[in-house]
Structure 1
Amino acid sequence: MEMSHIAQTIFRSLVPLPQDRITLTWNNAHYASVHMLPVAMLAYLVRRRNTELLRLALLPLTVMMSVRCTFGYSNPTTPETFLLNWLRGLAGLSAIALALDCALSSTSRMKLGETPKELPPLFGSDNPEASPTSPWWAEILEVQLTFRGIGWNFGKGVYIHPEHRPMEFRPFVLSHLRTYIKGYLAIDAVQAFFKYTPGLGAPYGASIWNATLPPYQRYVASTLVHIMCGAVIQFGLEMNYSLATIVAVTVFGQSPAAWPPVYGNPWKSKSVHDFWAKQWHQLLRRNFMVFGGIPGQWLAGRVGAVMGTFIASGLFHEFGLYLVGRGMDHRVTLFFMLQGVAILMEKVFMVFTGHRVEGWTGRIWTYMWILGFGQLMHGCLAF
């Protein structure tokens, strides 16, 4: 009992109860962000040779600081701060994933064609050719902001969508500007639709299932809400990705080829595997592999890798939501776990029949898992 009490005390010192969190203000924002210093140090060390022990020694402090800084502070829980709190939670978990990745793997942040021997040592350089090709601060930013692993060895196997935009500078920038404007208008239209459509303008936190409607209309309405929530996520991410692309290309002079499309066409998915591996964004892929896919593969091979990745995805989204003040609700975790089950079922189908899940039947199958079981995630509205 004493050990349990000590463990609970330590846990609550890192993850306070919602009512014990410190309200985030401009005056304490630097305290809530100080964990990024050791994360940045790990990002620097992973690009230096023979730093394995130093990275391992820094890992516990980095994780504890990231947990405390993320979950110890929050904005007041209101509809206006819902998204901001959720994104803070996801950012904190992403920082922990990056810290684990940098500390536990000696090759996780190698560029294609590089070997560990080609990296410079921590101090000085015993080989002029091993010197970094960019300033130390630029290397840190590159390690922290390379999500899909394009040009890096950890991005091996990630699907890159075929380019459909003009690659000349001016048309490329204008294309992303149009995407940003369309995304902004689409999200505004969805919010207005929820607010002014009878039966959908539910209070903040209300269920998506309107008990006053007949069963058929109730599930039609909930499916519509689910689709629009997914559209908001896609439009919002594409909008911000376009903004980042414009800044990178115009201000920092990066090549348009370094910013391939972030989404495919989810509506044309031929299978659940096609949806998650190709049509949906891959920005958080490495996080899920670090938290669940790689440990799962160690434990149970390919099946463990698939299930571990999707369970980690569910917990990642759910722990991110913990900052919005609603406690834990593992329906989100259940939904993502079922996606792993669906992908394994598709693999079994291919083994026994010799054919992949595809065509119009595959599309219906995919819609069932995404639009049907997906409504488990939306037990309450965030609008």
Structure 2
Amino acid sequence: MSPHLANGLTVIPPALVPCCFVTSVIFIVGLLVPSLAIRRVFFLCMVAIDTFIAFFATVGNPWQDHGLANTYVSQLLLACDFLVLHDPQRDYHRIDETKYRDLPWWKRIMWAFELSTNMRGIGWNWEAAKVHPPHPSDSMGRFRFVLRQVVRWAFAYVIGDLKLTLFRKRPACHAGGSFFQDGPGWLTLYVAAFYSDISFGMILTHSLLAGVCVLLGISKPSHWPNLFGGFQQAYTVRRFWGRAWHQLCRQFLTANAQFVSRSILGVKKGNPLLRYLELYLTFFLSGAVHWVGSYALLRHHTGANRTMLFFLLQAAVITLEDFIVAFGKRLGIKDGWSVRLLGYVWVVAWLVLLTPIWTEPLVKAGFLELSHQNEFSLVQGIWEGKWHPGYERTGL
């Protein structure tokens, strides 16, 4: 770490940025340790290192600070599940392999590496298979699967490039801008572009990794179900977050929420309050992950607190939604295309209404602008001859 300070933060030189991921090594080694007491020590070391980097250090780019902080907290919650709340060597194993105690030493290392990085548990005995998109069939063959990933990558790139073109050309998306400044129609488009920025960026990475790993024979097509369930799943807010959106956080959010509700608060299964207690705890923990990311970008609590509010309001909307659905069933209203169409409108309306609570401080701080500086653009290159366009300031 560099001793130099900027605004009270320790500056991490670019050459030392990879050292930020030393906690990933600690996590992997901790999984190989049989003693719970020692695993807890490893976990506390991770907490100390990640707390320092997230709150007291910077890599010099607020957008990168945001991404790293989100990664740190997600990893800590996953490590809490695997190193503290469970005995990983006893409880977790790949479905196609024997349990940990029967693995040779080199496979134990691979087991620990994959367990610490496979956020959805694909191919493991703890995968929440019912909420994931269907696994591709291995019978499709390697090259057909790779071709499909190439198409997915290209589609995600074009949509992402269109979204970035919008960000570059609209002052509302620039530092100091506001999603509200151009009226409700543009607000809806900006919110859609914000979620596209997250989702299609993740699809780019996922499709690339899937294609490369299957092409090289490292994994099978069945190990790579799609990352998102698709908007067709999102006819309720509950299903938007639980089925349509990525499920990378499900395991550690659910495990930690259940620990708090059942072990600390002592609420037993069968208690009608348990479902909603764990719902609010899950969104509170998700809010905490994103709160740290927002704080790392903004370096003040006010804007970060709005991030937490956004996620807690999702739980409140789902509570209201469950009441409305139950009331509708009592009136004899049955599921059908018209009901689902109304559900899609309901979901979009709530996202457009609530998302700016989260995004406004980030946009004003330049989150969208910082994340995509002078990237290659196929859309603007063909359209305007600007292959590495910057953000346009003529509207300000």
TM class by smaller structure: 0.7 to 0.9
Amino acid at match of 1:203: H
Q: For 1:199-238, what aligned pairs fall within 5 Å after superposition?
A: 199-200=171-172, 202-210=173-181, 217-238=182-203
Amino acid at match of 1:187: G
Corresponding position: 1:65 with 2:30: no
Corresponding position: 1:101 with 2:81: yes
Amino acid at match of 1:362: G
SS at match of 1:154: coil
CA contact (8 A) 1:297 1:304 kept: no
CA contact (8 A) 2:120 2:250 kept: yes
Corresponding position: 1:89 with 2:89: no
Give me the whole-angstrom Cα distance separating, in 1, the residues matched to 2:129 and 2:319.
Answer: 18
Give me the whole-angstrom Cα distance separating, in 2, the residues matched to 1:367 and 1:339.
Answer: 13
2:225 maps to: 260
1:313 maps to: 286
2:390 maps to: none
User: Normalising to structure 2: TM-score of the pair?
Assistant: 0.76
- After superposition, the CA RMSD in angstroms is 3.0
Corresponding position: 1:182 with 2:182: no
CA contact (8 A) 1:186 1:235 kept: yes
Give me the whole-angstrom Cα distance separating, in 1, the residues matched to 2:334 and 2:314.
Answer: 17
Amino acid at match of 2:352: L
CA contact (8 A) 2:233 2:239 kept: no
Moved more, 96-105 or 133-142: 133-142
- Of structures 1 and 2, the one with the larger relative CO (CA 8 A, separation 6+) is 2
Corresponding position: 1:281 with 2:238: no
Amino acid at match of 2:79: A
Amino acid at match of 1:37: V
**Distance verdict in 2 for CA 1:107–1:172, change over 3 Å:** same
SS at match of 2:218: coil
Identity %: 21
Give me the whole-angstrom Cα distance separating, in 2, the residues matched to 1:68 and 1:158.
Answer: 38
Corresponding position: 1:376 with 2:357: yes
CA contact (8 A) 2:66 2:297 kept: yes
**Distance verdict in 2 for CA 1:54–1:356, change over 3 Å:** farther
CA contact (8 A) 1:86 1:324 kept: yes
Deviation per residue, 1:44-65 (Å, 9 max, x gap): 23xx5xx223212332222212
User: Normalising to structure 1: TM-score of the pair?
Assistant: 0.79
Amino acid at match of 1:310: F
1:137 maps to: 109
Matching residue within 143, 148, 166 for 1:193: 166
CA contact (8 A) 1:268 1:363 kept: no
Deviation per residue, 1:246-277 (Å, 9 max, x gap): 22212343110010111122255221111111
Moved more, 222-231 or 268-277: 268-277
Give me the whole-angstrom Cα distance separating, in 2, the residues matched to 1:273 and 1:290.
Answer: 18
Matching residue within 119, 122, 127 for 1:155: 127
SS at match of 1:378: helix
Give me the whole-angstrom Cα distance separating, in 1, the residues matched to 2:99 and 2:158.
Answer: 48
Give me the whole-angstrom Cα distance separating, in 2, the residues matched to 1:192 and 1:114.
Answer: 45
**Distance verdict in 2 for CA 1:356–1:325, change over 3 Å:** farther
Amino acid at match of 1:331: R
SS at match of 2:225: coil
Give me the whole-angstrom Cα distance separating, in 1, the residues matched to 2:178 and 2:103.
Answer: 57
| Structure holding more helix per residue | 2
How much does 1:241 deviate?
Answer: 0.6
Amino acid at match of 2:36: E
Amino acid at match of 2:123: G
How much does 1:283 deviate?
Answer: 0.9
**Distance verdict in 2 for CA 1:228–1:104, change over 3 Å:** same
**Distance verdict in 2 for CA 1:119–1:292, change over 3 Å:** same
CA contact (8 A) 1:271 1:365 kept: yes
SS at match of 1:370: helix
For these two proteins, the number of residue pairs brought into alignment is 341
How much does 1:76 deviate?
Answer: 2.1
**Distance verdict in 2 for CA 1:348–1:142, change over 3 Å:** same
Corresponding position: 1:75 with 2:59: yes
1:251 maps to: 216
2:381 maps to: none
How much does 1:374 deviate?
Answer: 2.0
Deviation per residue, 1:298-328 (Å, 9 max, x gap): 5352211111001111121121122223423
SS at match of 2:13: coil
